[in-house]
A and B are shown apart, each in its own frame.
Chain A
């Protein structure tokens, strides 16, 4: 990683910080993406429309950037389609069971100094680390 990449990550992180701050200041809500998605899966209500609009905003923002900088979406991970499907099931099930993901616990919860979110963040980082190491050790890094 060079300085340019580090600055990109810092700037992108700052944009994420601005996004969650806007959601709190105007709407009084935390920006937990797994919660927004799982709560939007029920019958749409007028009060819940904001969740759908947040998701549409995410997709639209992604669409815009991939026109300008498609290289920001390269996926060089040595992961098969079967692996990402199992990963998706685990992430979906785990984030609802654990009430949050990288955004809700990792950014919003840690910023509020929530003990629950801090423990959740340490736990998913630890198990992510163990999983990557297990794939390296038993499968040479690709699965």
Chain B
């Protein structure tokens, strides 16, 4: 069982590594491309091609993999099963969208750019972690049902 966990950790590292290379090659670590995608008057379609590439593979792989009773290195699936539409989902996604358009970064590219030395990537990622901590501290005051 322990060796299964070690193998899972190895897969996680490899997946993170491949993900980062994918983000950088596709242009997603250049915030002007995100901002350009969100601006139809000077449109940069890069993000659309990234989505076609990523979703194109996973939309085929997902149902094939889920035909298995378990994952290869795990005893059960950890895939979300919720179907309810909540105010939290919509409000949270709206806040994320505002931050995304404001900074041109989403979480993955922020972390991937950390060692490049661009101060804005470091500030963005640090503030993002603070925002996550802030959520955990303020969650009990939210009047929105989970």
Q: B-contacting residues of A (Cβ < 8 Å)?
A: 1, 5-6, 8-31, 33-34, 37-38, 41, 46-47, 49-51, 53-66, 69-70, 72-77, 79, 81, 83-103, 105-116, 119-121, 123-133, 135-136, 143
Q: A-contacting residues of B (Cβ < 8 Å)?
A: 5, 7-32, 34-35, 38-39, 41, 44-59, 61-62, 65, 70-74, 76-80, 82-85, 88-108, 110-116, 118-121, 123-136, 142
Known contacts A37-B107, A62-B113, A99-B88, A132 near B25 by CB under 8 Å: no
CB distance from B53 to the nearest CB of A (A): 2
Contact B5–A127 (Cβ < 8 Å):
no
CB distance from B105 to the nearest CB of A (A): 7
Contact A31–B19 (Cβ < 8 Å):
yes
Please measure, in the bound complex, the distance between the C-alpha atom of A84 and the C-alpha atom of B56, giving whole angstroms.
31
- B residues less than 8 Å from A73 (CB atoms): 24, 29-30, 113, 116, 118, 121
Please measure, in the bound complex, the distance between the C-alpha atom of A75 and the C-alpha atom of B62, giving whole angstroms.
34
- Contacting residue for A16 out of B30, B53, B80, B114, CB 8 A: B53
- Chain B residue nearest to A106 (CB atoms) is B51
Contact A136–B39 (Cβ < 8 Å):
yes
- Chain B residue nearest to A37 (CB atoms) is B107
- A residues less than 8 Å from B123 (CB atoms): 81, 84-85, 88
Chain B at the A interface: SS class:
helix
- Contacting residue for B35 out of A17, A24, A77, A99, CB 8 A: A77
- Contacting residue for B18 out of A22, A92, A98, CB 8 A: A22
Known contacts A1-B45, A86-B99, A12 near B65 by CB under 8 Å: no
CB distance from A95 to the nearest CB of B (A): 5
CB distance from A105 to the nearest CB of B (A): 7
A-B residue pairs in contact (CB < 8 Å), sample of 22: A16-B50, A37-B128, A60-B13, A62-B23, A62-B24, A64-B21, A72-B25, A73-B30, A75-B32, A75-B120, A79-B102, A89-B127, A89-B128, A91-B124, A97-B135, A101-B96, A110-B51, A111-B62, A123-B94, A127-B97, A128-B97, A133-B38
Contact B99–A87 (Cβ < 8 Å):
yes
